[in-house]
């Protein structure tokens, strides 16, 4: 902890925290894994076990249950136009084997539509306003066109450009790549190489930067030049601390936004509204307002 | 109808095949911890040293188990998909916990195992499996309006795995298994934090603490990779049960597991680690274990037990059938056991091995070694016998005899190679003892001694530590101020435990605090042993106390007192105001008293001094210090330069305030008339602290007036009498009755009844403030506020009642009579 503190103190202050405000306090519980819609008007969140995918409309304050299914909140994602939500559900099949299915939720209509049959494995899809593609244990499913998208499957980074999947393995990571995310300008990708920290690549898988803290998780772009990460410590059993850190996307500087003992995690950043939505270990959501220092 | 039945049969068949086909399973394995980092759990045990990665690290044994499980699953069901969070043990393999759960969920696992071992975090030692799933303890979720488990199936996995782990007979379990919800088990970080690796896991899974690695015998087993493999196999059994794998698809080979331990040699519990059951016996290391065909015609597998203090062996992948397990090592007799191996089971076969002891036992050394003419032995000397073999305790103790008979206790050391006999109390003094160990003594292999062993010794004339002086005597008094406990012994006491061996309580049983930091004690070279412990506070005048001395107080050779002591004593004020007139104040002793060499003998040194700190009255008291040249025959006189003003006769008495030196010497006051000199014995100096002593003067002759002329100490032969230091304060003149009454000058004053037996009552027309009862030495023996004094516990005799009334003190002689 002292080492972390000293690293942060060596850097000039990147941002100033303006405020922290609870979201849906006393209204909802067990709120985790927040995901902001690209237009910033909606927020997805789910239970800690990834079931019970819910959506908050910031304009009305209304919370809609998108899906109660198992896994529905694991890597749920909005289409770029913020009109639809893609997610994968899961249920126990015969003999306890998991069966998964890709679904789409139309926000305006409040309708859910199955996009695949139930299969043993349905990966995270690549989505656009006009279609999707997804890998399964049987075959790849595609509908419409997907422009630029990013996914991670085990130790493969799959970057879709012009509807074509390109696989990269820019860094060795036995346990795989996690939390892949596309920058708002859709020119860079950030992901976690398990146990090695966050890497930033271009759309051709070339490494541009390494946010060199092997315990960084859950990167979220704050504009195109900053990445918010979750930094936890543990004793191999329980979490000892969890905090949010803002990093320059080139890896040149970082700054803690919350204290280690705050147990803050799962950032969803939105530079247009100067905010970061995040969760705490006890399943509460907060909105943090920040200003980037000039 | 036939079509429908056929369709139903097909559907059922399809469902059964799909539901139970283990080759379609996806299993995610997380070997807990990693990288020997700060969050790893490393325990350095013999023979390893700190920093040696060969010692136990939980990250390592967890990885061994995980890799074994993966291989077992791959071998059992080709096509099964197994993923692991790590396959190495580097820092980068120690993943953040959420990453692990996320990787497993993202990969689409059907089941998740986090493999760990446990530690109590306390000094207690246990060994049992603990299964943790995400959620509340079974049945506790309802209280929170929630299901017990966060992800259905997780509790069930734990319930299946725990009893399977408990089937391991090549370990020692101390308790039954537990299956717990992590929200109930862990309460840190508030509500539902639980285990980090399960917190964001979206699939059925649990964390297994398979056994306790701080149970050191288990730790040594966990250093064995095959033992870890065995635990991995238990996980595969849980997969079978959870997914209801049909028998036809279960592995068709079995395994053999066991421990090899000595049948009676105790395990070396280095640093005192705890062990239970079979773990208390010595594990056999470097032992060749063979799995033989039932007719022993051929060797199927061979295993050599490792050098890591576990005695564990294992035969993998054995075809079902009958076999013989044979263990061989040169130090022990071979052992064999017939076993039956069944498919998909572990056959346990723990064998105890008998050490080869091929020569008869004998005493190879002993102590004490004593021969005629040597110094006698202390009366508590233990008898130590070292044998060439580990001995059978019962037969050896029965073969031991000592004449004259002495009750004693045996103890065994060095894994039964050494027997020690200690007398329960002590040997008799100045006695010849003859010790025999007969040929009935056997070593652990059952062979007897071929010749008896004998030894002799002679004891000293002392078998108890003797108290030669004490500041507090049973029924005695002690001056309340600056009081201390001092005991003197014939030998130097062992003062290390002394503060726990002395205690004082008041009459209500409350402990009286002793000034432990003020402890003083004798040093080597002192003529006698002693310890002195002051009281922290002044004692309460009139209060009765009880001093307890432990019988375990011993000298430096361990010779104890013959028994403990319990002494009652009363605190008094030796310096209380007295009604008598004063003959001597001792305010100026240096001027008035001088060493009288002519009337002294065998004096090495002396000194007269004035002390204002320890005085009882006036300005000062006199301090008289002396050292005689030898142990007896000394006497010293300090003569007064001029006689006191007042004279005394044989009808008077002297009241002398003396601070004793516990020398046992005698103190006298020199009295001289115009034509005669007498010495009135004041006391034996067998006390410490101030006392007021009533000295009769019946030795004075006729009606002559004698005056105080000097102070004399006569040496009494003892260890303590060679030197000393006494103090003297006021020397009073007491009338013929010992204490003179002060007449009442208060209206209607009376004290009654007189004699009294229950209460003494003082009456006057004015307020009576308090009443005190003094003995004839002037010491206060009872006191009460008001005008009534309970005298029911006061011994019969003559006393002086002193009453504080109307600002005056009225003193009157009273008789207490029961």
**A83 min Cα distance to partner chain B (Å):** 25
Residue B701 has pLDDT above 90, yes or no: no
pLDDT band at residue B738 under the 50/70/90 scheme: very low
Comparing CB atoms, the residue among B39, B152, B207 nearest residue A235 is B39
Tell me B279's DSSP state: G
Nearest CA in chain A to B199: A48
What is the model's pLDDT at position B793? 84
What is the model's pLDDT at position B121? 85
B546 forms beta bridges with B505, B568
What is the model's pLDDT at position B17? 37
Tell me A262's DSSP state: G
SS3 B63: helix
Could you report the per-residue pLDDT of B108-132, keeping only the tens digit for each? Answer: 999 999 999 999 988 899 999 999 9
Whats the size of chain A, residue-wise?
A: 294
Q: Give the C-alpha separation, B134 to B179, whole Å.
A: 11
- Is the backbone of residue B772 left (phi > 0), alpha (psi -120 to 50) or beta? beta
What is the model's pLDDT at position B20? 57
Q: Are B711 and B682 in contact (CB under 8 A)?
A: no
Question: Would you call A3 an interface residue with chain B, using a CB distance cutoff of 8 Å?
Answer: no
Three-class HEC string of B720-780: CCCEEEEEEEEEEEECCCCCCCECCCCCCCEEECCCECCEEEEECCCCEEEEEEECCCCCE
Q: Give the C-alpha separation, B7 to B15, whole Å.
A: 12
SS3 B83: strand
In the sheet with A207-211, reading across from the earlier edge strand, the strands are A177-182, A188-193, A197-202, A207-211
What is the model's pLDDT at position B777? 61
Task: Using only the alpha carbons of chain A, give its radius of gyration.
Answer: 18
Nearest CA in chain A to B14: A94
Residues 249-288 of A with CB under 8 A from B: 263, 265, 281-283
Comparing CB atoms, the residue among B134, B191, B195 nearest residue A237 is B195
Q: Do B95 and A218 touch (CB under 8 A)?
A: no
SS3 B137: coil
B39: chain A residues, CB-CB within 8 Å:
234-236
Query: Average pLDDT in the B221-237 region?
Result: 98
Q: Do B193 and A215 touch (CB under 8 A)?
A: no
A231 occurs within a structural domain: no
A23 occurs within a structural domain: no
Give the pTM.
0.70
A133 occurs within a structural domain: yes
Regarding beta strands A264-270 and A275-280, do their DSSP bridges make them parallel or antiparallel, or are they unpaired? antiparallel
Q: Give the C-alpha separation, A92 to A51, whole Å.
A: 14
Lowest mean pLDDT among B167-171, B264-268, B313-317: B264-268
Query: Average pLDDT in the A99-118 region?
Result: 96
**B424 min Cα distance to partner chain A (Å):** 53
What is the model's pLDDT at position B192? 72
What is the model's pLDDT at position B11? 38
Residues 6+ apart with CB under 8 A from A165: A126, A133, A158, A159
**B197 min Cα distance to partner chain A (Å):** 7
Q: Are A277 and A265 in contact (CB under 8 A)?
A: no
Could you report the per-residue pLDDT of B474-502, keeping only the tens digit for each? Answer: 989 999 999 999 999 999 999 999 999 99
Q: Give the C-alpha separation, B633 to B573, whole Å.
A: 35
A120: chain B residues, CB-CB within 8 Å:
24, 26, 108
Q: Do A265 and B93 touch (CB under 8 A)?
A: no
A281: chain B residues, CB-CB within 8 Å:
189-190, 193, 199
Nearest CA in chain A to B241: A95
Residue A10 has pLDDT above 50, yes or no: no
If you write DSSP's letter for every residue of A71-101 in order, what string do you get? TTTTT-EE-TTSSEEEEEEEEE-GGG-EEEE
**A294 min Cα distance to partner chain B (Å):** 33
As for how many domains chain A has, the answer is: 1
Q: Give the C-alpha separation, B701 to B505, whole Å.
A: 48
**How far is CA B650 from its chain centroid?**
61
| Domains detected in chain B | 18-249 (3.40.630.40), 254-353 (2.60.40.1120), 363-458 (2.60.40.3710), 474-572 (2.60.40.1220), 581-734 (2.60.120.260), 750-816 (2.60.40.10)
Residues 6+ apart with CB under 8 A from A15: A226, A246, A255, A257, A290, A291, A292, A293
Question: Would you call A1 an interface residue with chain B, using a CB distance cutoff of 8 Å?
Answer: no
Nearest CA in chain B to A70: B202
The residue range of the domain holding A39 is: 31-137
Question: Would you call A90 an interface residue with chain B, using a CB distance cutoff of 8 Å?
Answer: yes
CATH number at residue A43: 2.120.10.60
Cβ atoms within 10 A of the Cβ of B51, count?
Answer: 9
Comparing CB atoms, the residue among A33, A214, A282 nearest residue B192 is A282
* Alpha helix stretches (DSSP H) within B264-325: none
Question: Would you call A48 an interface residue with chain B, using a CB distance cutoff of 8 Å?
Answer: yes
Among B610, B638, B608, B613, smallest CA distance to B625 is for: B608
Cβ atoms within 10 A of the Cβ of A265, count?
Answer: 25
Tell me B36's DSSP state: T
A11 occurs within a structural domain: no
Three-class HEC string of B388-428: CCCECHHHHHHHEEEECCCCEEEEEECCCCEEEEEECCCCC
Nearest CA in chain B to A91: B203
pLDDT band at residue B188 under the 50/70/90 scheme: low
**A87 min Cα distance to partner chain B (Å):** 13
A228 occurs within a structural domain: no
Q: Are A238 and A207 in contact (CB under 8 A)?
A: no
Residues 6+ apart with CB under 8 A from A123: A88, A134, A135, A136, A151, A153, B108
A189 occurs within a structural domain: no
Average pLDDT of chain B, as a whole number: 91
Task: Using only the alpha carbons of chain B, give its radius of gyration.
Answer: 44
Long-range contacts of A166-171 (CB under 8 A, 24+ apart): A166/A204, A166/A205, A168/A201, A168/A204, A168/A205, A169/A205, A170/A199, A170/A201, A170/A205, A170/A206, A170/A207, A171/A196, A171/A199, A171/A207
Largest CA distance in chain B: 153
Q: Are A260 and A280 in contact (CB under 8 A)?
A: no
Could you report the per-residue pLDDT of B534-578, keeping only the tens digit for each? Answer: 999 999 998 999 999 999 999 999 999 999 999 999 999 999 877
Q: Are B436 and B631 in contact (CB under 8 A)?
A: no
Query: Average pLDDT in the B169-182 region?
Result: 97
Residues 6+ apart with CB under 8 A from B248: none
Q: Do A71 and B96 touch (CB under 8 A)?
A: no
SS3 B66: helix
What is the model's pLDDT at position B642? 87
Q: Are A52 and A63 in contact (CB under 8 A)?
A: no
If you write DSSP's letter for every residue of B590-643 in order, what string do you get? HHHEEE-GGG-BSEEEEEEEEESSS-SSSS-EEEEEEEESSSSS-EEEEEESS-
Angstrom distances, CA of residue B704 to CA of B3, B79, B646, B673: 149, 129, 12, 7
Asked if the bond preceding B755 is cis, omega within 30° of 0, the reply is: yes
ipTM for the assembly: 0.94
**A10 min Cα distance to partner chain B (Å):** 24
A280: chain B residues, CB-CB within 8 Å:
none
pLDDT band at residue B765 under the 50/70/90 scheme: low
Residue B6 has pLDDT above 70, yes or no: no
Nearest CA in chain A to B34: A236
Q: Give the C-alpha separation, B19 to B193, whole Å.
A: 34
Among B421, B433, B436, B435, smallest CA distance to B377 is for: B433
Comparing CB atoms, the residue among B87, B96, B244 nearest residue A95 is B244
B190: chain A residues, CB-CB within 8 Å:
281-282
Q: Do B153 and A96 touch (CB under 8 A)?
A: yes
Angstrom distances, CA of residue B379 to CA of B420, B428, B431, B529, B806: 15, 7, 9, 19, 66
B606 forms beta bridges with B626
A92: chain B residues, CB-CB within 8 Å:
152-153
Q: Give the C-alpha separation, A142 to A129, whole Å.
A: 13
Among B196, B96, B84, smallest CA distance to A48 is for: B196
A2 occurs within a structural domain: no
What is the model's pLDDT at position B53? 86
Q: Do A234 and B39 touch (CB under 8 A)?
A: yes
Q: Give the C-alpha separation, A10 to B465, whole Å.
A: 72
Q: Do B196 and A234 touch (CB under 8 A)?
A: yes
Could you report the per-residue pLDDT of B572-626, keeping only the tens digit for each? Answer: 999 987 777 889 999 999 999 999 999 999 999 999 999 999 999 999 999 999 9
A57 occurs within a structural domain: yes
Q: Do B103 and A175 touch (CB under 8 A)?
A: yes
Q: Do B151 and A49 touch (CB under 8 A)?
A: yes
A51: chain B residues, CB-CB within 8 Å:
202
Q: Do A71 and B40 touch (CB under 8 A)?
A: no
In the sheet with A149-153, reading across from the earlier edge strand, the strands are A149-153, A156-161, A164-168
Nearest CA in chain A to B96: A215
Q: Are B742 and B809 in contact (CB under 8 A)?
A: yes
Question: Would you call A69 an interface residue with chain B, using a CB distance cutoff of 8 Å?
Answer: no
**B309 min Cα distance to partner chain A (Å):** 28
Q: Give the C-alpha separation, B85 to B83, whole Å.
A: 7
Asked if the bond preceding B753 is cis, omega within 30° of 0, the reply is: yes
Q: Do A121 and B108 touch (CB under 8 A)?
A: yes
Q: Are B658 and B666 in contact (CB under 8 A)?
A: no
Report the residue of B58, B96, B182, B193 to disrupt the A interface, i.e. the one with the largest count of A CBs within 10 Å.
B96
| Residue B70, H or E segment | helix B58-76
Cβ atoms within 10 A of the Cβ of B475, count?
Answer: 10
Q: Comparing B338 with B696, which gets the higher pLDDT?
A: B338
Query: Average pLDDT in the B405-428 region?
Result: 95
Angstrom distances, CA of residue B768 to CA of B659, B775, B799: 34, 21, 19
Asked if the bond preceding B404 is cis, omega within 30° of 0, the reply is: yes
What is the model's pLDDT at position A11? 53
Residue B348 has pLDDT above 70, yes or no: yes
What is the model's pLDDT at position B704? 75
Question: Would you call A138 an interface residue with chain B, using a CB distance cutoff of 8 Å?
Answer: no
Question: Would you call A118 an interface residue with chain B, using a CB distance cutoff of 8 Å?
Answer: no
B611 forms beta bridges with B621
B153: chain A residues, CB-CB within 8 Å:
92, 96
What is the model's pLDDT at position A74? 95
């Amino acid at each position: 902890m002292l080492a972390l503190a000293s690293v942060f103190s060596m850097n000039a202050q990147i941002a100033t925290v303006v405020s922290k405000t609870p979201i849906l306090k006393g209204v909802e519980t067990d709120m985790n894994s927040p995901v902001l819609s690209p237009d910033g008007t909606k927020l997805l969140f789910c239970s800690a076990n990834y079931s019970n995918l819910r959506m908050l409309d910031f304009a009305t304050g209304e919370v809609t249950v998108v899906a109660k299914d198992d896994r529905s909140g694991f890597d749920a994602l909005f289409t770029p136009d913020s009109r639809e939500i893609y997610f994968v559900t899961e249920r126990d099949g015969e003999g306890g084997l998991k069966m998964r299915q890709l679904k789409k939720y139309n926000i305006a209509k409040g309708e859910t539509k199955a996009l695949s049959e139930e299969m043993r494995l349905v990966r995270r899809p690549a989505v656009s306003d006009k279609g999707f593609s997804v890998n399964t244990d049987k075959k790849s499913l595609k509908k419409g066109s997907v422009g630029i998208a990013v996914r991670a499957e085990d130790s493969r980074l799959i970057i879709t450009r012009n509807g074509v999947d390109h696989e990269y393995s820019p860094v060795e990571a036995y346990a795989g790549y996690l939390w892949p995310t596309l920058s708002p300008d859709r020119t860079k990708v950030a992901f976690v190489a398990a146990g090695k920290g966050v890497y930033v690549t271009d759309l051709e898988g070339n490494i541009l930067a390494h946010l060199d803290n092997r315990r960084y998780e859950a990167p979220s772009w704050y504009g195109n030049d900053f990445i918010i990460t979750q930094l936890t410590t543990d004793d191999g059993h329980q979490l000892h601390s969890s905090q949010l850190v803002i990093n320059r996307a080139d890896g040149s500087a970082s700054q803690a936004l919350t204290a280690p003992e705050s147990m803050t995690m799962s950032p969803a950043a939105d530079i247009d509204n100067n905010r970061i939505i995040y969760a705490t270990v006890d399943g509460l959501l907060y909105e943090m307002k920040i200003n980037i220092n000039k | 109808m036939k079509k429908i039945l056929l369709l139903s049969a097909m559907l059922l068949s399809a469902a059964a095949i799909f539901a139970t086909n283990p080759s379609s399973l996806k299993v995610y394995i997380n070997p807990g911890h990693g990288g020997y980092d700060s969050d790893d759990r490393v325990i350095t045990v013999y023979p390893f040293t700190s920093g040696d990665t060969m010692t136990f690290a939980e990250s390592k044994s967890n990885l061994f188990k995980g890799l074994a499980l993966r291989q077992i699953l791959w071998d059992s069901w080709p096509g099964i998909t197994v993923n692991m969070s790590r396959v190495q043990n580097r820092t980068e393999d120690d993943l953040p916990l959420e990453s692990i759960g996320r990787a497993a969920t993202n990969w689409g696992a059907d089941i998740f195992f986090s493999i760990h071992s446990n530690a109590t975090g306390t000094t207690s030692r246990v060994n049992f499996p603990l299964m943790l799933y995400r959620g509340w303890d079974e049945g506790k979720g309802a209280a929170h309006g929630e299901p017990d488990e966060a992800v259905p199936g997780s509790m069930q996995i734990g319930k299946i795995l725990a009893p399977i782990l408990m089937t391991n007979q090549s370990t020692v379990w101390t308790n039954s298994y537990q299956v717990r919800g992590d929200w109930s088990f862990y309460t840190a970080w508030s509500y539902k934090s639980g285990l980090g690796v399960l917190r964001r896991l979206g699939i059925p899974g649990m964390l297994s603490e398979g056994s306790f690695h701080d149970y050191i015998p288990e730790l040594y087993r966990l250093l064995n990779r095959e033992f870890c493999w065995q635990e991995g196999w238990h996980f595969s059994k849980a997969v079978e049960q959870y997914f209801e794998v049909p028998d036809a698809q279960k592995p068709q080979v079995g395994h053999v597991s066991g421990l090899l331990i000595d049948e009676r040699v105790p395990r070396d519990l280095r640093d005192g680690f705890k062990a239970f059951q079979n773990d208390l016996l010595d594990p056999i290391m470097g032992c060749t274990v063979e799995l033989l065909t039932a007719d022993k015609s051929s060797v199927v597998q061979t295993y050599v037990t490792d050098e890591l203090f576990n005695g564990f062996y294992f035969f993998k992948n054995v075809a079902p059938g009958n076999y013989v397990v044979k263990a061989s090592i040169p130090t022990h007799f071979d052992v064999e056991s017939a076993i039956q191996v069944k498919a998909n089971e572990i056959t346990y076969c723990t064998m105890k091995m008998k050490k080869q002891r091929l020569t008869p036992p004998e005493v190879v050394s002993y102590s004490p070694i004593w021969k005629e003419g040597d110094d006698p032995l202390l009366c508590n000397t233990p008898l130590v016998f070292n044998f060439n073999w580990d001995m059978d305790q019962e037969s050896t103790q029965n073969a031991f005899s000592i004449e004259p008979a002495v009750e004693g206790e045996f103890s065994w050391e060095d894994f039964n190679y050494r027997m020690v006999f200690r007398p329960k109390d002590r040997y008799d003094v100045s006695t010849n003892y003859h010790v025999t160990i007969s040929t009935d003594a056997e070593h652990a292999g059952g062979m007897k001694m071929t010749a008896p062993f004998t030894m002799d010794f002679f004891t000293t004339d002392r078998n108890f530590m003797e108290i030669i002086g004490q500041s507090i005597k049973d029924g005695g008094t002690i001056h309340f101020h600056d009081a201390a406990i001092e005991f003197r012994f014939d030998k130097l006491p062992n003062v290390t435990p002394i503060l726990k061996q002395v205690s004082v309580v008041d009459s209500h049983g409350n402990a009286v605090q002793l000034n432990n930091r003020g402890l003083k004690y004798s040093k080597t070279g002192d003529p006698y042993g002693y310890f002195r412990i002051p009281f922290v506070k002044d004692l309460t005048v009139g209060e009765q106390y009880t001093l307890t001395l432990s019988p375990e107080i011993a000298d430096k050779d361990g010779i104890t007192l013959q028994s403990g002591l319990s002494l009652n004593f009363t605190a008094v004020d030796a310096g209380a105001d007295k009604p008598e007139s004063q003959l001597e104040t001792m305010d100026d002793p240096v001027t008035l008293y001088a060493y009288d060499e002519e009337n002294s003998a065998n004096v090495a040194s002396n000194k007269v001094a004035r002390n204002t700190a320890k005085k009882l009255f006036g300005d000062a008291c006199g301090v008289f210090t002396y050292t005689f040249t030898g142990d007896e025959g000394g006497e010293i006189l300090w003569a007064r330069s001029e006689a006191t003003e007042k004279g005394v006769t044989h009808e008077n008495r002297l009241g002398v305030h003396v601070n004793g030196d516990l020398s046992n010497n005698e103190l006298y006051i020199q009295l001289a008339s115009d034509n005669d000199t007498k010495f009135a014995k004041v006391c034996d100096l067998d006390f410490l602290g101030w006392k007021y002593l009533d000295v009769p003067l019946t030795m004075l002759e006729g009606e002559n007036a004698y005056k105080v002329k000097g102070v004399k100490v006569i040496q009494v032969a003892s260890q303590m009498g060679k030197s000393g230091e006494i103090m003297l304060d006021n020397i009073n003149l007491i009338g013929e009755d010992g204490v003179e009454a002060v007449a009442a000058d208060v209206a209607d004053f009376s004290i009654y009844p007189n004699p009294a037996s229950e209460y003494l009552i003082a009456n006057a027309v004015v307020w009576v403030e308090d009443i005190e009862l003094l003995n004839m030495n002037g010491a206060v023996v009872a006191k009460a506020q008001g005008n009534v004094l309970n005298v029911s516990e006061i011994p019969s005799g003559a006393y002086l009642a002193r009453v504080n009334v109307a600002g005056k003190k009225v003193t009157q002689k009273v008789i207490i009579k029961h």
